[in-house]
Amino acid sequence: MVRQRVGIIGGGQLAQMMGQSAEDLGIDLVIQTPSPDDPAVAVAKQVIFAPITDALATAQLAQLSDVITFENEFVDLEALKPLAEQGVIFYPTLANLAPLLDKYEQRQYLASLNLPVPAYFSLENAIAPAFPLVVKVRRHGYDGQGTFVVDSPAELANRRQQLQGLSLMGEEFIAYDKELAVMVARSPGGEIAIYPVVETQQQNQVCRRVIIPAAIPGKIQRQIEAIARHFLEQLQAVGVFGIEFFLTKDGKVLINEIAPRTHNSGHYTLDACLTSQFAMQLRVVTGLPLTAVNLKTPKAVMVNLLGYEYATQDYAEKREKIAALPLTYVHWYGKGESRPGRKLGHITVLADSQGTETTLLAKAQLIEDIWYGVS
C-alpha cells in the first residue's frame, strides 16, 4: 500500500525542498521542527514544534504519519528504538543509521565492508601518527563545522583543549585531485538508483559549487558506482544517501563521508534530472517505484548562495538579477538571518546544447560576483 502521509524529523531547507515533490505525488508532509521560522514549516500540512531529539514529539509525529524519514542526522537513536519496536516505520531504518551517525564508527563500518577510506584513528588517547592531519568531531558536524586541519603537535593540543568534552577522531590528510560526490537511493524491495557523479568545489570546508557531471574517466565512474551499490546492498539501506569521495592525485578513490539523507551535492537534481533527490526520497519511503535519474541537460553547475555577513534581509534585488540570467534557476530557503558561511539558497545553471564546462563556470563566477557584491 502506498503511504500518503510522510513525517519528517527536521524542518530545514532539505525538508522544504520536498514540498513541491510531495504536492506532485499527492503526499502530505508532517514536520517535527523547533521553530515556526524553519524553512519547511511553509510547505507542511501539519507541524509539531519540538526539538528534533524529542522522542515524545516523534511519537505524536508517528500518530499523524504512515512513515517517518529524516532531514538530518542529529537524532537520538536510543530514544527512537521504543517507537520502532511498537511498529513505527522509519526510513532509513534505525539499523541503517546506527553505523553512520558517528564518523569514527562510520569509518569502522566502511572498512569492515572492505570499502576504501582514508587512514583513521581515535583521538581519545591515541598519539597522532603524522602531520598534517584532519581532526573531526565524531557527531553533529556539518558544512565544515567540527572539521579542522592541524599541522603540528602544538596545534593538535590546542584544538583538543578547545574541543574538550567532545569525542574526536583523526584522519590522514588527503592531497586530493578532486572531490566527488554521488547521490544514491535504495527502495525497501532492493531497487537501486544511482545519480551522475559530480565534482564538488569547497571553500573553507563548505561546498561552494557542484559541477555536473564530473569530468572523470569512465573507470572512476564505474568504480564509484560499484562502491555505492556494495554499500547500499550490504547495509540493506532504505532511503536516499549522499556519498562524498576523494579522488587522489594517483587515481585512487576514497570515501570521505556518507550522509543518510538528501544532500547539498544533489540539489542540482531539482532542475537537471528527470527525478530530483527529494522526489526520490518520497518515492522510496512511500513504496513508489524508483524512476529515472538521467540528466535532462548535457551539463550543469550548482552554486550555493552562502551568507557573507551578519544581516536580516532577503537579498531580493540580487536574486532578481541572478534569476534574469538565461537557463538559471534560483532556489531561496527563506531563512530570516544571514551569517557568514550559512547556506541561504542555491542556483542551478543548465547548459544549452552548445554549452561547455568553461562557459558554465564563467556564468557561475558571474553569479558569485553578483551575490558577493563584486558587480
Q: Are residues 224 and 85 in the same domain?
A: no
Looking at residue 1, what is its pLDDT?
46
Q: Are residues 256 and 214 in the same domain?
A: yes
Residue 119 CB neighbours (<10 A):
15
Is 67 inside any structural domain? yes
Domain boundary among 139, 172, 205: 172
Co-location of 181 and 318 in the same domain: yes
Contact yes or no for 22/318 (Cβ under 8 A) = no
Range of the domain at 134: 119-172
Residues 51 and 155 in one domain: no
CATH of the domain at 15: 3.40.50.20
Q: How many distinct structural domains can be found in the chain?
A: 3
Q: What residues have CB less than 8 Å from 84, skipping those under 6 apart?
A: 90, 93, 94
The answer on 182 and 141 residing in a single domain is no
Q: Whose CA is closest to 226, among 237, 216, 234?
A: 234
Residues 75 and 81: beta-carbon distance below 8 Å: no
Rounded to the nearest 10°, the torsion over CA 38, 43, 45, 51 is -20
Residue 100 falls within a domain, yes or no?
A: no
Q: Based on the domain organization, do 12 and 132 belong to the same domain?
A: no
The verdict on 167 and 213 lying in the same domain is no
- What is the dihedral angle through the alpha carbons of 339, 344, 350, 356, rounded to the nearest 10 degrees? 10
Number of neighbouring beta carbons within 10 Å of residue 147: 16
Rounded to the nearest 10 degrees, how much is the dihedral formed by the CA atoms of 64, 69, 72, 77? 90
What the block records as the C-alpha cell of 324 is 534574469
Q: Where a domain ends, among 152, 172, 192? A: 172
pLDDT score recorded for residue 350: 97
Q: Peptide bond preceding 340: is omega within 30 degrees of 0, i.e. cis?
A: no
Report the CATH number at residue 257: 3.30.470.20
322 lies in the same domain as 191: yes
Does a structural domain hold residue 95?
A: no
Q: Please give the pLDDT value at position 280.
A: 98
pLDDT tens digits in sequence order for the chain, 375 residues long: 455 899 999 999 999 999 999 999 999 999 999 999 999 999 999 999 999 999 999 999 999 999 999 999 999 999 999 999 999 999 999 999 999 999 999 999 999 999 999 999 988 766 677 899 999 999 876 655 789 999 998 999 899 889 988 899 999 999 999 999 999 999 999 999 999 999 999 887 789 999 999 999 999 999 999 999 999 999 999 999 999 999 999 999 999 999 999 999 999 999 999 999 999 999 999 999 999 999 999 999 999 999 999 999 999 999 999 999 999 999 999 998 999 999 999 999 999 877 788 999 999 999 999 999 865
354 and 252 fall within a common domain: yes
pTM exceeds 0.75 for this model: yes
Q: Are residues 152 and 299 in the same domain?
A: no
Together in a domain, 9 and 154 = no
Query: For residue 60, is it within any domain?
Result: yes
Establish if 336 belongs to a structural domain. Answer: yes
The residue from 69, 90, 111 where one domain ends is 90
Same domain, 183 and 163: no
Angle (deg, nearest 10), helices 55-63 and 77-85:
30
Q: What is the 3-class SS of the chain, one letter each residue?
A: CCCCEEEEECCCHHHHCCHHHHHHHCCEEEEEECCCCCHHHHHCCEEEECCCCCHHHHHHHHHCCCEEEECCCCCCHHHHHHHHHCCCCECCCHHHHCCCCCHHHHHHHHHHCCCCCCCEEECCCCCCCCCCEEEEECCCCCCCCCEEEECCHHHHHHHHHHCCCCCEEEEECCCEEEEEEEEEEECCCCCEEECCCEEEEEECCEEEEEEECCCCCHHHHHHHHHHHHHHHHHHCCCEEEEEEEEEECCCCEEEEEEECCCCHHHCCHHHHECCCHHHHHHHHHHCCCCCCCCECCCCEEEEEEECCCCECCCCHHHHHHHHCCCCEEEEECCCCCECCCCEEEEEEEECCCCCCHHHHHHHHHHHHHHHCCCC
Query: Rounded to whole angstroms, how far apart are CA atoms 143 and 30?
Result: 26
